[in-house]
Structure 1
Amino acid sequence: MHIDHLGIATDDASELATLYADLFDAPVAHEEEFDGLRVVFLEFGESYFELLEPMEKGTISRYLDSRGAGIHHVALRTDDIEDALETAREHGVELIDDEPRLGAWGHDVAFLHPKSTGGVLIEFVEH
């Protein structure tokens, strides 16, 4: 596994994308509206920043209300998401998603509960 992306909650994905593109020379690789969010991926070599702007009330809007803008999750790329979930189960990690679900870019994703992973929300991503 390796880091696929860092999910960053923001109130304005366009503004933050422009700043990061200029500051870090990180081009926009992909944009979409998905699951009540505006999602912008900025390319950092083999990894991405995923900017998450809520378009309606939901998980990210609640996160912004309670914690403010910042890193929301760390996503790890795996070649076998089912195996990654089984390994997590074997280690007693609480799963948010018992089975993979459709995520941004049409990838399969599944989240691990932060209370089982040192306070970090971890996402598995299979391309």
Structure 2
Amino acid sequence: MFTAIDHVGIAVADYQNGIDFYTGTFGMTVLHEEVNEEQGVREAMLAPGSDASGTQIQLLAPLTLESTIAKFLDRNGPGIQQIAYRVTDVAATAATLRERGLRLLYDAPKRGTAGSLVNFIHPKDAGGILVELVQPATDHQTVPQ
């Protein structure tokens, strides 16, 4: 079902401080940055080296005080917010998980980072962990708007 750990999402209150810490302290490379208005976040994908094919770190900073990440930071402070698993077909994986009794946050996949398709398993159905399903952009032709 899952082909790899795609990334670990880390909530940060200050985007630039997060970038500076992970690049300056750990020597990570920023592979991609974007603003996702729909999800209310500014995000960056970082890698331990320059290789984008392995597991990455995703920094997530809130755009507004009402965003999901802002609420997460208010409840928990900065830190790990999610684990994301790579899948080959997010819609089919979501359907299988629904058949197994899990709740997903979206009825249909949404646009994620760098044109990927995503959905999330409700944390109450995944041991208290927000689990993201990620179908990379290279594995599909069209992205829902």
Q: Would the TM-score normalized by the shorter structure come out above 0.5?
A: yes
Instruction: Name the aligned partner's letter for residue 90 of structure 1.
Output: E
Identity of aligned residues (%): 38
Q: What residue is the counterpart of 1:92 in the other structure?
A: 101
Q: What residue is the counterpart of 2:44 in the other structure?
A: 40
Q: 1:19 aligns with which of 18, 21, 24?
A: 21
Q: What residue is the counterpart of 1:29 in the other structure?
A: 31
Deviations 1:31-78, CA, capped at 9 Å, x for gaps: 111123211111135011110111212111111111111111111111
TM (normalized to structure 1)?
0.93
How far the C-alpha of 1:106 sits from its partner, in A, is 1.4
Indicate whether 1:79 and 2:88 are aligned: yes
Q: 1:111 aligns with which of 104, 115, 120?
A: 120
Number of aligned positions between the proteins: 127
Higher strand share: 1
TM (normalized to structure 2)?
0.82
- CA RMSD in angstroms comes to 1.2
Secondary structure (helix, strand or coil) at the match of 2:42 reads strand
Instruction: Name the aligned partner's letter for residue 48 of structure 1.
Output: Q
Which stretches in structure 1 are left out of the alignment for 5+ residues?
none
How far the C-alpha of 1:80 sits from its partner, in A, is 1.0
How far the C-alpha of 1:115 sits from its partner, in A, is 0.4
Paired with 1:52 and 1:14, the residues of 2 have a C-alpha distance of 11
Which stretches in structure 2 are left out of the alignment for 5+ residues?
137-145
